[in-house]
């Protein structure tokens, strides 16, 4: 089947974007999983589930864009997208994720302290009045 040139260019573009998105998902997965390996079997199962989920998402992404042609070149362009993401953007994205997590955790810690401190103060005053 002959594919028109504009469709081929779109297929290349969307395959590279799918590889980049897979790299972003993998970095998010690494943050969630943690960098320590608690157990080899659990890590293996988590990795298998991630790659199944990632494969389904890539297929849906390419199917949504109308280019669900499966060929060797598709895997090649997804690999190029993954490689370019890991070489160019992964470190910056991980730093950004750590900063976002730090800001969110600081926000929740402040909110928790603002909510818990008045309750602790009331409990302290109640129990000290009895003495």
Domain ranges of the chain: 1-88, 91-131
Q: Would you write out the chain's pLDDT as a tens digit for each of its 131 residues?
A: 677 888 888 888 988 999 999 999 999 888 888 767 678 888 888 889 999 999 898 888 888 876 667 778 888 998 999 999 999 999 999 999 999 999 999 999 999 988 888 888 888 888 877 65
Angle, vertex CA 38, rays to CA 32 and CA 40, nearest 5: 105
Q: Can you give the pTM of this predicted structure? A: 0.75
Q: Give me the pLDDT at residue 60, please.
A: 86
């Amino acid at each position: 089947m002959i594919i028109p040139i504009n469709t081929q260019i779109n297929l290349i573009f969307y395959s590279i974007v799918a590889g980049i998105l897979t790299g972003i998902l993998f970095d998010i997965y690494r943050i969630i999983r943690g960098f320590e390996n608690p157990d080899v079997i659990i890590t293996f199962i988590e990795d298998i589930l991630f790659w199944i989920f990632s494969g389904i998402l890539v297929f849906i992404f390419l199917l949504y864009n109308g280019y669900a042609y499966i060929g060797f070149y598709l895997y090649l362009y997804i690999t190029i997208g993954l490689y370019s993401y890991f070489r160019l953007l992964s470190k910056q994205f991980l730093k950004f994720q750590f900063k976002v997590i730090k800001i969110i955790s600081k926000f929740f810690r402040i909110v928790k302290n603002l909510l818990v401190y008045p309750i602790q103060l009331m409990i302290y005053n109640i129990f000290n009045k009895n003495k």
